[in-house]
Structure formats: structure tokens, C-alpha cells
């Protein structure tokens, strides 16, 4: 018998319990439901869950834990049958089924919140595991401090992260340089100056930018922005011949980040109490003086948090750099040159033919872990700042 069949059977058993328990309780009081301690529905729910939950738990834990697949299905069914008998037997009129049902539902709710924790644990474990494998084959010092990246599937690769980190940071920096001022000014103008007509048009337009998938930005970089920058800037100015470049990816990523920065800073400006603005205007300050000298300084921690969140976004962005930045690992300052990033290399090392014994594949997990740690650090810090900032005005 297969595990999925036994799970289906357990579900059928729990449905049986769901139907039988209220019937038995009602029979014992000859159909007078007022004599029951709980609603008949609650009897059903309590019994059904009593059968369903333990069986599912065993199936899930056993299945994931690699428990013997020949015995496990029978254990699942045995548990379900025992639970069925016990729960129906328990369904006497004085049984407060509601309490049982509600504790079981609470358990389900708690288990659901556990999924988020499990996800994090899964992320960390999966990457840690393969990363340790990687460092058994490859010296960690070379990984973190070597400036050369040239994987070679016949062995003897150089897998230094520094050129990838450089590309990542360079592109993110350009993206932020573009997105932060534009996003901030757009948010300021829309919330403090714009009339309802402009707002009702510009706000949705900026929000649309936020809803566009990154693959679309990637194609935009590849087909439109890259060739444009090459033909009108890089080639005439003698900076190179490449359509994929740091600038291409950075600019397009900047466009992607505009709505992110502007909606975050919009929230943050809105948290600044109106009384502060009134105070400044009441002293005869102009709107811009009020914004620059009162609103922005008051909102500064929040804005810093928003910029850090945007930075973490930029560092973890994949499709735009896959399509716009290029694949060559390079330490260079020329923004018109193709460079590559951590995320691009994760994709290229893990797609196509992968061999989970070779360092060239496993390095992707080390890259992933590095990326995760960097973005996690930024996020925790940024969310902490933003939270503290919000509390200040609550």
C-alpha cells in the first residue's frame, strides 16, 4: 500500500468520525439536542479532527523522515482507526466537544504559523549543508578572498566571490543612485504638492511599475536599454562595445526600485504628524522649507530604513542582471562594461547539467548563503529602524 492511499483512507476515516460522533451523541439523548453539552456540529468537528490530525502528523513526519515505506502506511491507518473508535466512544452527551474541537483547531493554526519558521529553517539548512560540502572541496579563503572567478567543469576552477560581489554592489549602487532621489522626490511631490488630478494619474502609473514582473524589466534591458546605451553612449565615447553592462542593469533596476522607494517613503512621510508641519508652516516657513528642515529630518530614520530595504532588493534581484548585466566576472570601474553578480552565477551554476559532487555546482549554495546573509542583515537592520521609527510617532 502506498502512503498517499493510506492518507486518503485516513481522510475517509475522519469523515466517518465526523458523521458518526454527533449521531451517537444524539442517539444517547434520543434526539433531544438541548441535552447535549455542545452543538452536534462540534461533536463532529472534534471527532473528525481527532482522527485526522494524528494520522496526518505521522504520515508527514514519517514520510519526510524517510521512515520505512512498507510499514508507515499501516501505522497511519492503525492510528486513524484507533482514534476513530476512541473519539466516537467519547461522544457522550456530557462531553464538551467544543473545547476539544477548539484546542485541536488552535493546534492547526499554530502548525500553520510554523510553516514560516520551517521555511526559514529549510532555507538555512539546505544552504548550510551544501555549503559545508563545498568547503570540503574548496578552500574557504579562496572563495571569500580570491579576485578570480573562472569555473572550469574539468576541475581546477577559480571560484572567488569578490568579482561577483563587486558587480552586485556596483549595479545596486547605480540602481539606488537613480531610484532613491527619484522615488523620494516623487513621493514628496505627490503627497505634499500634487493636486488630485495629477495624483490620480501619477500614483497608479508608479504603482504599475511596481506590479511589472522583473523578467519584463530584464527583457527591456536586453532589447531596448542595452543597445541604446551602447549605440549612443558607450561606443561613441569609446567606453566599449557591450550592450550588457553595469549601467544597463543598474538603470533598469533603478526604474524597478522607484515605486518601491516612493511607496515606502510615502508611508514614512505620512507617519510624520501633521502637527509638526503645522508648527513649521505656522512660523511662516514655505512648503519646501518645512519638508527639507522638518519633515525629512523627522522621517530620516524611516527613509534610511527604506533605502536599506531597497538595497537588499537590488542585491537579491536576479532576472534584470541575468539579462542586462552580462556573464563576465570582472573587477572594473567602467560602468559600460559587462559584469556579473552573485545571483547571475547562482543561476548559471545551477541550470543545465549539474553535478552535485563538483565544487562548480556546490559553489552556488555558498553564493546563495552569502547572498542570504547579506540581505538578511540588511533587512533585519532596516526593519528594526523602521519599526523604531513608527513607534516613535504612535
Contact set for other proteins, span 66-95 (CB under 8 A): none
DSSP state of 154: T
Four-residue CA torsion sign, 92, 93, 94, 96? positive
Question: Does 375 help bind other proteins (rule: CB under 8 A)?
Answer: yes
Question: Does 319 help bind other proteins (rule: CB under 8 A)?
Answer: yes
DSSP assignments along 249-313, one per residue: HHHHHHHHHHHHHHHHHHHHHHHS-HHHHHHHHHTT--HHHHIIIIIHHHHHHHHHHHHHHHHHH
Q: 127 to 156, contacts with other proteins by CB under 8 A?
A: 127, 129-130
Question: Does 120 help bind other proteins (rule: CB under 8 A)?
Answer: yes
Region binding other proteins by CB under 8 A among candidate stretches 73-81, 188-196, 231-239, 325-333: 188-196
For 288-319, letters b (16+ CB in 10 Å) and e give eebbeebbbebbebbbbbbbbbbbbbbbbbbb
Helix, strand, coil % in the chain, rounded to nearest 5? 80, 0, 20
DSSP assignments along 350-390, one per residue: HSSS--TTSHHHHHHHHHHHHHHHHHHHHHHHHHHHHHHHH
Which of residues 14, 242, 245, 280 is near other proteins by CB under 8 A? Answer: 280
Classify 150 as helix, strand or coil.
strand
Minimum gap (Å) between residue 194 Cβ and other proteins: 8
Minimum gap (Å) between residue 238 Cβ and other proteins: 26
String of contacts with other proteins for each residue 219-238, x by CB under 8 A: xx-xxx--------------
String of contacts with other proteins for each residue 190-219, x by CB under 8 A: x--xx-x-x---x--xx-xx-xxxxxxxxx
Minimum gap (Å) between residue 74 Cβ and other proteins: 21
Please tell me the distance from the alpha carbon of residue 122 to that of residue 115, in angstroms, as a whole number. 10
Minimum gap (Å) between residue 303 Cβ and other proteins: 14
Residue 269 · residue 217 · CB < 8 Å: no
Residues binding other proteins: number (CB under 8 A): 107
Q: Which is nearer to other proteins, 61 or 108 (CB)?
A: 108
Question: Does 260 help bind other proteins (rule: CB under 8 A)?
Answer: no
Question: Does 98 help bind other proteins (rule: CB under 8 A)?
Answer: yes
Contact residues for 256 (Cβ-Cβ < 8 A; gap 6+): 175, 179, 209, 212, 214, 217, 317, 320
String of contacts with other proteins for each residue 333-352, x by CB under 8 A: ----------x--xx--xx-
Which of residues 30, 34, 64, 236 is near other proteins by CB under 8 A? Answer: 64
Question: Does 276 help bind other proteins (rule: CB under 8 A)?
Answer: yes
Q: Which is nearer to other proteins, 205 or 333 (CB)?
A: 205
Please tell me the distance from the alpha carbon of residue 42 to that of residue 53, in angstroms, as a whole number. 16
Which of residues 31, 32, 65, 117 is near other proteins by CB under 8 A? Answer: 117
String of contacts with other proteins for each residue 1-30, x by CB under 8 A: ---x--------------------------
The owner of cell 554592489 is: 169
Residue 159: phi and psi, rounded to 5, are -125, 60
Minimum gap (Å) between residue 83 Cβ and other proteins: 21
Question: Does 322 help bind other proteins (rule: CB under 8 A)?
Answer: yes
Q: Which is nearer to other proteins, 235 or 375 (CB)?
A: 375
Question: Does 122 help bind other proteins (rule: CB under 8 A)?
Answer: yes
Amino acid at each position: 500500500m502506498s502512503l498517499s492511499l493510506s492518507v486518503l483512507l485516513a481522510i475517509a476515516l475522519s469523515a466517518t468520525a465526523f458523521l458518526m460522533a454527533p449521531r451517537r451523541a444524539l442517539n444517547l439523548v434520543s434526539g433531544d439536542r438541548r441535552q447535549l453539552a455542545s452543538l452536534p456540529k462540534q461533536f463532529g468537528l472534534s471527532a473528525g479532527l481527532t482522527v485526522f490530525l494524528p494520522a496526518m502528523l505521522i504520515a508527514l513526519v514519517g514520510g519526510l523522515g524517510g521512515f520505512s515505506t512498507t510499514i508507515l502506511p499501516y501505522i497511519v491507518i492503525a492510528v486513524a482507526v484507533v482514534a476513530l473508535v476512541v473519539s466516537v466512544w467519547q461522544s457522550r452527551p456530557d462531553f464538551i466537544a467544543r473545547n476539544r474541537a477548539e484546542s485541536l483547531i488552535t493546534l492547526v493554526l499554530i502548525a500553520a504559523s510554523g510553516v514560516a519558521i520551517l521555511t526559514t529553517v529549510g532555507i538555512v539548512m539546505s544552504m548550510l549543508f551544501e555549503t559545508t560540502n563545498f568547503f570540503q572541496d574548496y578552500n574557504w579563503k579562496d572563495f571569500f578572498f580570491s579576485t578570480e572567478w573562472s569555473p572550469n567543469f574539468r576541475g581546477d576552477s577559480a571560484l572567488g566571490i569578490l568579482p561577483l560581489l563587486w558587480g552586485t554592489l556596483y549595479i545596486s549602487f547605480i540602481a539606488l543612485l537613480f531610484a532613491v532621489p527619484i522615488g523620494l522626490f516623487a513621493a514628496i511631490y505627490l503627497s505634499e504638492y500634487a493636486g488630485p488630478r495629477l495624483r490620480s494619474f501619477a500614483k497608479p502609473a508608479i504603482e504599475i511599475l511596481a506590479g511589472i514582473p522583473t523578467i519584463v524589466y530584464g527583457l527591456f534591458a536586453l532589447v531596448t536599454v542595452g543597445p541604446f546605451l551602447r549605440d549612443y553612449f558607450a561606443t561613441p565615447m569609446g567606453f566599449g562595445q557591450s550592450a550588457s553592462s553595469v549601467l544597463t542593469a543598474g538603470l533598469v533596476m533603478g526604474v524597478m526600485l522607484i515605486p518601491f522607494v516612493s511607496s515606502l517613503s510615502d508611508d514614512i512621510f505620512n507617519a510624520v504628524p501633521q502637527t509638526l508641519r503645522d508648527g513649521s508652516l505656522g512660523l511662516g516657513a514655505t512648503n519646501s522649507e518645512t519638508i527639507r528642515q522638518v519633515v525629512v529630518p523627522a522621517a530620516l530614520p524611516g527613509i534610511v530604513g527604506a533605502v536599506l530595504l531597497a538595497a537588499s532588493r537590488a542585491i537579491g534581484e536576479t532576472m534584470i542582471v541575468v539579462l542586462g548585466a552580462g556573464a563576465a566576472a570582472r573587477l572594473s570601474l567602467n560602468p559600460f562594461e559587462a559584469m556579473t553578480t552573485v545571483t547571475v552565477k547562482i543561476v548559471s551554476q545551477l541550470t543545465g547539467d549539474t553535478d552535485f559532487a563538483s565544487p562548480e555546482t556546490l559553489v552556488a549554495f555558498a553564493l546563495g548563503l552569502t547572498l542570504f546573509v547579506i540581505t538578511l542583515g540588511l533587512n533585519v537592520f532596516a526593519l528594526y529602524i523602521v519599526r523604531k521609527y513608527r513607534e516613535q510617532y504612535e
